[in-house]
Structure formats: C-alpha cells, structure tokens
Chains A and B, each alone.
Chain A
Amino acid sequence: MLEIDLTHRQGNFTLTARFTTGPGVTILLGPSGAGKTTLLDLVAGLKRPESGHIKVEDTVLTDAGAGIFQAPHQRRIGYVFQEARLFPHLTVRQNLLYGRLFTRATPPAGLDTIADLLDIAPLLARRPRDLSGGERQRVAIGRALLSAPRLLLLDEPLSALDAARKAELLPYLVRLRDQMQLPMLYVTHQPAEVASLATGWIGVQDGQAGPIPPPAQAQ
C-alpha cells in the first residue's frame, strides 16, 4: 500500500523512516517532537526528503535519487490536520465539495452518504465559525474523503477536542475504516485512544520510524 524508505534532515533533527503499511488504519505512535507530523508532511508533499523514496500502490510520490517529486496537489492524498482548517469564506457544503473541483476520480461515497455517515447533514448551509470543534473536525474529514484520496492522513484529529468529543468522534472513524476502502495513516501519542481503530502500528521515536508490536495500553 504505502512504502516508505527515507532520510530527512531538518536543522539538527534527522528522521529516518523505513516501513510499509497495509489497508486499514496504521497508527504512527510516538512522543511529541519525535517526527510524526514531519512524516505525514513528507507523505503529503509539504516537505521534501533528503534521500529515499515514498510509494503509494504503484505510484512513486517522491524519489530523491531519481529526482522525482510530485507536487502536493497531484498526489491525491487526503490530509486531516490537527486544526480543521476549514475555509472560513465557504459554507460547510462548499467546503465539502471543494476537492471535487479538481478531480474526476470517484470518491469512496457521495456527499449525502458521507454527510450522513459523519452526521453533518444538518450543518451543510452553515459557516465554519458557527460549528463546534467536533463538528469542524468531522467536516474536515468529510472534505478530505470527497476529494477522492487514495490514502488519508490524520494528524491527531482528536487532540483539539475534550474527552466527551473524542468519544463522540471515534465511532465515526471506525465506521469510516469499515465502510470505505480507504487506507489511513493516523498520528497520535496516546495508544489507548485509538485501540478500537488500529490495524497496524508504526513507532516513531528519536527520529527513527519503523514497525512495532501493538502497545500494551492498546490491548
């Protein structure tokens, strides 16, 4: 599915990552500052690795040796950021459909299905500033899905939410995993939080990223 083998240097910090992931939800687990977000940025094309390559299915996204670097907008990789980053001048519906303007690829489901799945159908006419934190994050997930990505990156999408909101959003993510055939890369530093979601684990520690067994807190 996703194949990563790279080295990336950023000031004094060097990140080395070597792993492959399968379908389902792969958790990127590690303490703050370990390089998890950097890894997502490398996959999304927001950063360019110093050496090595990243492949999704049969597409080479970047290969430093061969001088290949696909621009972020060409990668079809959905990115749900820590903050929802909804477009403030657009309605929820316009936010959801934004990615449709730029691709002919078929999303995993249509607007209505996704709005139902994420329980945001009643919000379609609203503006982002009128939404709660949990609602914003759900819209951001729906927006990423409708852009027809082949891989979805989630960067601590629950971190801005309180415990009750976290508990509210998790079932949506599980439904997403089971109903859409969409692999996900999910960054967190709290393994217990995603125990019900995870299908694979990658540890990120001190600039090293590679496969790890499921941590005890997640069992």
Chain B
Amino acid sequence: MLDFTPEEWTAIRLSLKVAFWAVLASLPPGILVAWLLARGRFPGRILLDGLVHLPLVLPPVVTGYLLLLLFGRQGPLGKMLAEVGITFAFNWTGAVLACAIMAFPLLVRAIRLSLEAIDPKLEQAAGSLGAPPWAVFATITMPLALPGILAGAILCFAKALGEFGATITFVSNIPGVTQTLPSAIYSHLQVPSGDGPALRLTLVSVAIAIFALIASELLARQVRRRVGGGDA
C-alpha cells in the first residue's frame, strides 16, 4: 500500500516543503495583522479585516488568476521581482505564495482569537513594573498567545498542504517543480489507470489533515487553560 513511486514521493516531499515555507513566511505578517485586528484602533480596520478574509470567500481559481496577473512573468510585481532574481511564476516558490495567501485567514483568525483572550490589564501591570511596550509584547503577550499561534500555524500548514485551485492556476502542475499532493491526485484521476495511486495519495492527505486538526485542537485547549484559568 505504501510503496510510493519516486514521482509520488517527490509530490509528497514538495507538498511538505511548500507548506512548511508557507507557514514560516506567513507567521510574522500573520502575527502583525492579528495584533492590528485585535488591538488596533485605526480607520480602515474593517477593510483590512475584509481583505485578509478575501481568499476564504473568493473562488480559489480567482485568487490564483489574480496572483498570475500580479506576480506572473508579465505582471507588474512579477517583473519587478524578476529583476532581483525572485520568480514566482511556474516555480515552487509560487506555490508557497499561493498556499500562504489561501491559508492566511485561518492563521490570522487563530492568532487573533488568542490575542483577544489576553486581558490587557496584565499588560498594564507589566508596564507599571517598568517593562517598555516591546518587552510587554515579548514577555507577556507572546507567551500567552503562543498556543494560539501554534494552533494557527498547524491549521495553516494543513490548509497549505491541501491547497489546489489557486496553486494550479498560478503555477500549473509540473511534476517535480510545482506538482503538490492535490495536483498529483488530480493528474492521476485524469488517466484510466490512476485510481490506485490517487487513492493512496488521498489517504496520505487525510492522515496529515486529521493529525493537524487534532494537534490544533489540543493546543487550543491549552490556550484556554493557560489564559483563562490563571489569575482572578
């Protein structure tokens, strides 16, 4: 059952690589945006909130097409980045970008919820003890939000592994370059003999997704215990 062909291993490995980098790249902006949405009081907050959630409600093919328009070889951003040696189009880095954008709402949501669960009075108390704002953020806010950040990162990872529509639209389905697990499954289903391989890869996808969801739920429980069950 688990004797994957080299092509299948390549797709699994590439998927894991793409998902890993998608999480890593979206964590810093994810924390920043979540903090802005949880604590910021500025005009345009609702607009930012909407913009972040856009990939959740747009058809993935639309997101992929917009990425192609912006970051494609002829796109305005794509041209600019090509000059400094960064290409997204038809490259695995493009899959990272597509997955990161599609998973971003989930990441931001998880972090934002954990930030909103933190009592600002604790941060005030830290300030009264002499901690400057950056230290309050590093020693109080971040540790208390950590389980939420981890839960968000795992959800983001699982979503990135499963992303199909935006990825295939933006960077196509090139074996060994941009063919991730879902694209490989899709390719197998296009040929008459592909049912077996497709099913095997489907089981891999299901296993990874279940693992991620359980891990995420366990971490979410911990955040509730840590932030909610502490000081009166």
Contacts and interface: CB of A to CB of B under 8 A. Distances in A.
Interface string B183-198: 0000000000000000
Contact of A86 (B135, B143, B227, B230): B230
B128 A89 contact: no
A129 B130 contact: no
A129 B125 contact: no
B135 A129 contact: no
Contacts of B132: 71, 73, 102
Interface in B100-147: 119, 121-122, 124-133, 135-136, 139-140, 143-144
Give the size category of B's interface with A. 20 to 34
Nearest to B228: A88
A199 B51 CA distance: 59
A88 B129 contact: no
A76 B230 CA distance: 26
Contact of A73 (B121, B130, B139, B231): B130
A143 B121 CA distance: 15
A157 to B, nearest CB: 13
Nearest to B146: A89
A126 interface: no
A136 interface: yes
B44 interface: no
A79 B231 contact: no
A52 interface: no
B157 to A, nearest CB: 25
Interface in A123-153: 127-129, 133, 136, 143-144, 147
* Binding site secondary structure of chain B: helix
Given A81-B121, A85-B121, A85-B122, A99 B130 contact: yes
Interface in A76-94: 76-79, 81, 83-89
B176 to A, nearest CB: 45
Nearest to B124: A46
B139 to A, nearest CB: 8
A87 B126 contact: yes
Contacts of A78: 128-129
A85 B232 CA distance: 7
23 contacts: A44-B128, A71-B127, A73-B136, A74-B130, A76-B130, A78-B129, A81-B125, A83-B231, A83-B232, A84-B231, A85-B122, A85-B124, A88-B230, A98-B126, A99-B131, A101-B130, A102-B130, A127-B230, A128-B231, A136-B231, A144-B129, A147-B129, A160-B232
Top 10 closest A-B pairs, CB basis? A88-B230, A102-B130, A99-B129, A79-B128, A85-B125, A86-B231, A147-B129, A72-B127, A128-B231, A73-B127
Interface of B: 119, 121-122, 124-133, 135-136, 139-140, 143-144, 226-227, 229-232
